[in-house]
Amino acid sequence: MLNTTFLNKQFKNPIVLASGILGVTGAGLANIIKIGAGGVTTKSISLEPREGHKNPVMMGNDHFFLNAVGLSNPGIENALPEIAKLRSLTDAPIIGSIFAGTAEEFGVVAEKICTGPIDFLEVDISCPNVGAEFGRPFAYSTEAVETITKIVKTKSTVPVIMKLSPNAWNIAEIAKAAESAGADAITAINTAAGMMIDIESRQPVLSNKVGGVSGPALFPIALKCVYDIYKAVKIPIIGTGGITTGRDGIAMIMAGATLLGVGSAMYYNKGTCFSKITAEMEEFMKAENITSLEEIRGTAH
Which residues fall in the annotated binding site for substrate? 43, 67-71, 190-191
Rg (Cα) of the chain, in Å, rounded?
A: 18
* Of 30, 16, 7, nearest in space to 277 by CA: 16
Which residues fall in the annotated binding site? 19, 43-44, 67-71, 163, 189-191, 215, 241-242, 263-264
Active site residues: 127
Cβ(114)–Cβ(157) under 8 Å? yes
* Burial degree of 276 (CB within 10 A; 0-12, 13-18, 19+): middle
- Cβ count within 10 A of residue 270: 9
Alpha carbons 267 and 252: distance in angstroms, whole number:
20
Which residues fall in the annotated binding site for FMN? 19, 43-44, 163, 189, 215, 241-242, 263-264
Position 272, amino acid: T
Where does 136-199 show beta strands of DSSP type E?
160-164, 185-188, 192-194, 197-198
Enumerate the β-bridge partners of residue 121.
96, 160
Alpha carbons 7 and 161: distance in angstroms, whole number:
10
Enumerate the β-bridge partners of residue 237.
186
Whether the ω angle into residue 189 lies within 30 degrees of 0, i.e. cis, is yes
Cβ(249)–Cβ(96) under 8 Å? no
* Burial degree of 289 (CB within 10 A; 0-12, 13-18, 19+): exposed
Cβ(213)–Cβ(196) under 8 Å? no
Alpha carbons 73 and 248: distance in angstroms, whole number:
30
